[in-house]
Structure 1
Amino acid sequence: MSIEEKHDEDFTIFPNILDENLSSKKRKDLYRLPEWMSSLAKRFDSRQLQTETTISINQIDYLDEDIRSILINNLSIQYLFPVQSQVIPYLIQQNQSHSPIPLADICVSSPTGSGKTLAYVIPLLQCIRHRVIRAIRIIILLPVQDLAEQVYHVVNQIGNKLQLKTALLAGQQSFEDEQKILVKQQLNGSWTSSIDIIVCTPGRLVEHISRTSGFSLIHLRYLVIDEADRIIDEFKQDWLNILDNAVDLSSNLKNNFQPYMLSQSSLNRKIYQKLLFSATLTHNPEILQQLNLFHPILFSSSSSTSIIMPSTLRENFIICSITYKPLIIAYLIQNQLHSERIMIFVHSKKDVDRLSSLLKLLLPDNIKVSHISRKLPSKKIQTRLNMFEHGQIQILVCSDVLARGIDIPNIDCVILYDLPKNIRTYTHRIGRTARAGKLGRSITMVEKERLIMFRTTIKTYRRNKLKPMNIRKENFSFMLNDYQKALEIFSSQEQKKKLKQKK
């Protein structure tokens, strides 16, 4: 029996940008966005990802000819996406300006899978490629190791062709090996940089500033903060003060800039520009100002506080009992989703182990199931991701280790086994599918008693509406005996593990 879709009920996830404990007056004040986040923001339609509405690389005259060739021949990129066609020419034009006034910082809010990484990699590499002395001019900051590694490979693909050297500082190598890559000591005792671009995490950056002799940032021109909302949330901004000190720059110099300061010798130093990127960039200016932004300019795919998802994404939810959640997923995979490439998100490692074990017992042998969690060694994670990407694994059960930024091609469906705690988690989880203009689908499992919470706690304006899927018990009743056996086998396996641990 096929799954029916109801079309008579839509519901929208409402906004949660306000603290419930705020007074009504303060809530109203928060809605009074500054001009740079409202009337002066640069808007674009991120949903126009089809080739007939995007810009051909061959038609772009502001990119260097060899960079166009690299994009077409090495990266198989024929068109710029909307966020790229807005941000890239703006940054290149800024670089050509010889104004003594410091460059305005920029914030970019665009959906998952819309091409944000290349939106900064392409223009920044073009802007520094004609440097004479090798020195660190770009720092790209990511919140976690896996994302840093992914961005590093993108930068390296283009940078190598332009004779620009990139270093990854995120713990994949020992600290001592990273130091050897970064700097070299000359016979006269002076130090020279071996690197033009650093891709790193905040903690690793601070460690090198503190402990690596000859590590200099005085030539820094660009600081990219990717997944900016997560970096703001998870890291105290002490790293920024440490970075400013390393650049030999008081952050007050830039933020308190006045025209009369143009004649001051202190402004002869190059002041670096900050570039923030996120699919779920906060609209609270006070939070953004933790990063000491200078006359910021917002590029946004939305004209409000909405979070826009790709038009190619189909969003569904299923109201279900917690008792039957694994069984319903097994039923979906066999009877509705078939052999599609599916990623399933759960909250904890324990749930990852339980769900993946039950699915292996419930699904036929030709459907390969695997799992990923933070406790797995990075080599195993990468091996399983490669197998998933190449179709050797069809179902991948994982925790939020893969919820942000990781770009795995051709994921057909994302299932949220557990209800996300907030709109950002929801957005980044379902953002693993429908990337770069491709079709995708998300299905959220909602327990009956948490349906009201689903409507009220994820809370953000959404243009995309979610369609409920109706699965009745009679639909999967023929699988109940197998489900009971699977539960018994799993319980027995867990008991054996516990006995081994005691021994």
Structure 2
Amino acid sequence: MTATFEELGLAPAILQSLRDAKLETPTPIQAQAIPLAMQGRDVLGLAQTGTGKTLAFGLPLIDALMAQPGKPAPKCAKSLILAPTRELINQIADSLRGLTAGTKVRVVTVVGGQSINKQIERMSRGCDILVATPGRLIDLMDRRAVDLSSARHLVLDEADQMLDMGFIHALRRIAPKLGTPRQTMLFSATMPKQMEELASAYLSDPVRVQVSPPGKAADKVEQSIHFLDKADKPAKLREILSADPGALTLVFGRTKHGSEKLMKGLVADGFNAASIHGNKSQGQRDRAIKAFRDGSVNILVATDVAARGIDIPGVAYVVNYELPEVADNYVHRIGRTARAGREGEAIALCSPEEADLFRQIEKVLKTEIPVASGTAPTGPGEKRGRRGGGGGGGQRRGQGGGGGRPQGAKPAGRKPQDDAKPANVHGKPNRLKRQRTRQRAA
């Protein structure tokens, strides 16, 4: 495998930007995809979340654009990156701007929830890289504010989620407007069957780059699951959060209303929490993520809008308060922790009503999630469920041995910080807490 970015043949200005960002060694997906993309090949990239897919397509794209003469024409974009959520768009754009500082390459974002008139004004000057959500891009195309005819590069990031969210219809309107011939790159962490159809429709003789099995969770994520009644989830969540009160924790709910209600309940109980979901304005979502990133808020409650749009290396825990309706999203959710080589923990709460979702998740993972407490539901052909508790595997932060309210847990209305016991059934300190203690001591 390539040892350094210098060996990939990238432009000197890009290499300097990488050095300034203290990035020296490409990740496996970057080492394999970048040389192929720089040859002009269409690329189908598959890698688990948090492995550096943005630079895998971003670096060769910037390199190609820097070599092209001339400025973009008004309203025109030389390349297009499509992604499903505003958060992911902003994350991609921030990464690319950090690498293009001081160069002629201009990056523009187009997303919903922001002033369309300002976006039209920015596009009036043209851009080298347009990073957009499909819906807002079509709005600008309908107003003749964007011309894609000179775009010779198309990137589809997290394309499987775009399929889940129904963006395939938008893609069918957008893709024919791009110039030809063009290079197309498609990147994702999972590979559902519809993705094969998408790849065959929009990629020409693609080379497939896969550095981990599709649907595989990040290696350094320590997973566990608690089986309990739905009514006991609030107490269990508070127990989990109280066990390491200063840690950055991402809590996933299933619905916008439910996530907002959960966040308000946590705030009422004295926790430092914020929320992001589809009912929040872009400004509210940006402020919540900024507060979470800088640590002024340490608990962020989110729907799947954040499953792929948050790249914060310091997230120590992901709690699936409710399991996702789409099993693949579990992989993306827990991929918000253990990023950039760090370790992390993913804790799931599963009620009897979610038994089928749990089985679908394990099927996608192709492995069993360690049971921290309660009894795994039985399914067709199963003799009995797995049990957790006692010395069961996967128990770290929120301990408990039964399927009902865990021993010592408090009603949802009480503040748990005063008497929470972050005990470990193994009699050992929490691994992540030891790590943070060492970091503070240093």
What is the TM-score of this pair, normalised by structure 1? Answer: 0.70
Superposition map of 1:352-431 within 5 A: 352-362=259-269, 365=270, 367-431=271-335
d(CA) in 2 for partners of 1:475 and 1:209?
Answer: 54
Shift in CA distance, 379/301, structure 1 to aligned 2, threshold 3 Å: same
Deviations 1:324-361 (A, max 9, x none): 111111112223x3432111111123322332233334
When the two chains are superposed, the root-mean-square deviation of aligned CA atoms in Å is: 2.7
Task: State which of 83, 88, 94 in structure 1 corresponds to 2:34.
Answer: 88
| Equivalent in the alignment of 2:85 | 144
More divergent stretch after superposition (376-385 vs 223-232): 376-385
Which of 56, 65, 70 pairs up with 2:4? 56
Partner of residue 372, structure 2? 469
Correspondence 1:112-127 to 2 at 5 A: 112-127=49-64
Is 1:272 the counterpart of 2:182? The answer is: yes
Q: Give the alignment partner of residue 340 of structure 1, picking from 247, 250, 260.
A: 247
Against the structure 1 CA distance between its residues 224 and 286, is the aligned structure 2 distance closer, same or farther, given a 3 Å change threshold? closer
- Residue 443 of structure 1: how far off its partner (Å): 0.6
SS of the aligned residue for 1:148 comes to helix
Deviation per residue, 1:1-55 (Å, 9 max, x gap): xxxxxxxxxxxxxxxxxxxxxxxxxxxxxxxxxxxxxxxxxxxxxxxxxxxx883
Q: Does 1:235 align with 2:182?
A: no
1:68 maps to 15
Specify the SS of the correspondent of 2:365: coil
2:156 equivalent to 1:225? yes
- Quote the Cα distance in structure 2 between the aligned partners of 1:484 and 1:217: 54
Q: 1:54 to 1:334 in 2, by over 3 A?
A: farther
SS in 2 for 1:119: helix
Separation in 1, partners of 2:232, 2:240: 12
- Pick the aligned partner of 1:330 from 235, 238, 260: 238
Q: Distance in 2 between matches of 1:239 and 1:464?
A: 35
Q: Which residue of 2 aligns with 1:493?
A: none
Aligned CA distance change for structure 1 residues 70 and 320 (closer, same or farther; 3 Å):
same
Q: Which amino acid aligns with 2:250?
A: M
What's the CA shift string for 1:400-455, capped at 9, x where partnerless? 2211232122100000011222321211111111112110110110124644x245
> Residue 207 of structure 1 aligns with which residue?
139
More RCO (CA 8 Å, sep 6+)? 1
Write the mapping of 1:2-81 to structure 2, written as runs, cut at 5 A.
Answer: 55-57=3-5, 59-73=6-20, 75-81=21-27
Q: How far apart in 2 are the matches of 1:400 and 1:235?
A: 15
CA distance in 1 between partners of 2:405 and 2:279 (Å):
36
**CA deviation map 1:465-500 (0-9, x unaligned):** 4211121369854444x54668xxxxxxxxxxxxxx
Identity of aligned residues (%): 26
Q: Conserved in 1, the CA contact under 8 Å of 2:85 and 2:309?
A: no
- Contact conserved, 1:224 with 1:276, CA < 8 A, in 2? yes
Equivalent-residue separation in structure 2 for 1:311 and 1:245 (angstroms): 39
Closer/same/farther in 2, CA of residues 398 and 64 from structure 1, 3 Å limit? same
What amino acid maps onto 1:150 in structure 2?
Answer: Q
SS at 2:101 equivalent: helix
Question: Structure 2 stretches of 5 or more lacking a match?
Answer: 374-399, 416-442
Point out the structure with the larger helix share: 1
Uncovered stretches (5+) of structure 1, i.e. residues with no partner: 1-52, 96-102, 185-193, 249-269, 487-503
Which residue is 1:315 aligned to?
223
Equivalent residues in 2 for 1:188-199, closer than 5 Å: 194-199=126-131
Q: Distance in 2 between matches of 1:54 and 1:405?
A: 28
CA distance in 2 between partners of 1:113 and 1:151 (Å): 13
Please give the alpha-carbon distance, in whole angstroms, between the structure 1 residues aligned to 2:359 and 2:233: 22
User: Could you say if the C-alpha distance between residues 292 and 123 of structure 1 is closer, same or farther in structure 2, counting changes exceeding 3 Å?
Assistant: closer
One-letter code aligned to 1:472:
G
* Residue in structure 2 matching 1:457, options 360, 385, 394: 360
- Deviation at 1:370? 2.5
Say which SS state the counterpart of residue 250 (structure 2) adopts.
strand
Distance 2:104 2:162 in 1: 30
Q: Name the SS of the counterpart of 1:355 in structure 2.
A: helix
Aligned length: 385
Conserved in 2, the CA contact under 8 Å of 1:55 and 1:81?
no
Q: Under a length normalisation based on structure 2, what TM-score does the superposition of the two structures give?
A: 0.79
User: Which secondary structure state, in structure 2, belongs to the residue aligned with residue 298 of structure 1?
Assistant: strand
Task: State the alpha-carbon separation in 2 of the partners of residues 484 and 285 from structure 1.
Answer: 45
Q: Which of 1 and 2 has greater Rg?
A: 1
